Amino acid sequence: MSLKLATNALHAGHDVKKTQGTRAVPIYQSTSYVFDDSEQAANLFALTEAGYIYTRLNNPTNDVLEQRLAALEGGVAAVATASGTAAIATTLMTLLKSGDHIVASNSLYGGTYNMLSNTLPRFGITTTFVDPDEVNNFAKAVQPNTRAFFAESLGNPKLDVIDLKGISDNAKTAKVPFIVDNTIATPALLNPIKYGANIVIHSLTKYITGNGTTLGGIIIDAGTFDYSNGNYPEFTEPSPSYHGLKYHDALGPIAFIARVRVEGLRDLGSAPSPLNSFQVIQGLETLEVRMQKHSQNALELANWLVSREEVSWVNYPGLNSSKYNEIANKYLPNGKSGIVTFGLKKGFEAAKKVAESTKIFALLANIGDTKSLIIHPSSTTHSQLNEEEQSSTGVSSDLVRISVGIENIDDLKEDLDQALKAV
């Protein structure tokens, strides 16, 4: 039975017959699990038998979340992590080694940009950042040691909508996996795997949970990349971690995600708490209806901001005036998510003042809550980047980013009206 997104968001991964008939997903708040006997324990550790060992590796509550999000994105399997950043780091550290190279979009969230530009080079992994508006830029940046393409489906805060199919075609030519952070779009609005992404990542902290209470991340494997192409020996040569196991030979399409779990989670320790996974599941159940409202409110507010004399520009892919409107309509026909950015004519100080003057919009470093949020990225989330780096990620000194919630739109307009008048 093929189920639609809204149904999978409520039911996928949960067999009530295995949880004593509980309608809600139980919280299995346990660090470890009792073995039947020593032989079973040995089999579990040798990966010859499926089961639970220790919550750092797997957990029944986490398992439901993983199955549910894999179903929503169209992947073969998934692994949950403690945060979105942990999902990115675990993916890259599992896939890459010292001497490897990444080609990435330059319009990334500031924390991700910093990880790729400053942290990973300490471990011998380098990145070339390219403008994703021209998909062939990815191909032009490929080096002999390139082992991954990385991009955000909807950039934060640049709000550029990338041509997933075009970049995927370049990744296939380069014989590297295409990794897509789909946090802002969410699976309710976009499924990158349909357009050739091999690995999809989410910060569950944002829209999927939706209420600002819980950190979490997810790594979803499409099961479509051939790790036996000669560039990924860790998947084809005997693993010293598991008695000479050859991941690709033994596991085929799930080789990557299996290695994320049994080596990535084991060695890097980025597992989520079962309680946090439970909280993410509660938010996930209403994702589709919330994303519709977020998108509706954001579009109306973006059009309203266009008319304000205090505002010099407005960026939202749903606007007819947006350079990304055509491609957004192709990839995001059911809504363009809830992030809007705009610039103040009076510049840096005025932008900070607006962010500080709202009453409903909360000034904080997050996006994707049901409640509306606001921030001045240049002085906060992207302040670790220099002026050139900020510019490449879409951040200017006059930019204000709002995460439009699901409040009454008239109240949101009134709040921004008084804040704009304050400058």
Consecutive H or E run containing 304: helix 287-306
Instruction: Compute the half-sphere exposure of residue 262: CA atoms within 13 Å on the CB side of its CA.
Output: 23
Q: Tens digit of pLDDT for each residue in 287-318? A: 999 999 999 999 999 999 999 999 999 999 99
Neighbours of 155 (CB within 10 A): 24
Domains delineated in the chain: 5-283 (3.40.640.10), 287-421 (3.90.1150.10)
Q: Is the peptide bond before 157 cis (omega within 30 degrees of 0)?
A: yes
- Whole-number pLDDT of residue 384: 74
- Cα–Cα distance, 87 to 185 (Å, whole number): 17
Per DSSP, the residues of 291-359 read: HHHHHHHHHHHHHHHHT-TTEEEEE-TTSTT-TTHHHHHHH-TT---SEEEEEETT-HHHHHHHHHH-S
Low-confidence ranges of the chain (pLDDT < 70): none
Listed residue (219, 205, 215) closest to 90, CA to CA: 219
Question: Where do we find the tokens 């991700």?
Answer: 112
- Whole-number pLDDT of residue 54: 95
Question: Where do we find the tokens 């309509």?
Answer: 329
- Whole-number pLDDT of residue 13: 93
**pTM over the 0.85 mark:** yes
Bridge partner residues of 221 (DSSP)? 77, 199
- Whole-number pLDDT of residue 389: 79
405 in the Ramachandran plot: left (φ > 0), alpha (ψ -120 to 50) or beta?
Answer: beta
Bridge partner residues of 216 (DSSP)? none
- Cα–Cα distance, 229 to 220 (Å, whole number): 21
Neighbours of 396 (CB within 10 A): 16
Q: Tens digit of pLDDT for each residue in 247-275? A: 999 999 999 999 999 999 999 999 999 99
Residues in the chain: 423
- Whole-number pLDDT of residue 243: 80
- 400 φ, ψ (degrees, to nearest 5): -115, 130
Pairing between β-strand 399-403 and β-strand 339-344 as defined by DSSP bridges: antiparallel
- Whole-number pLDDT of residue 198: 98
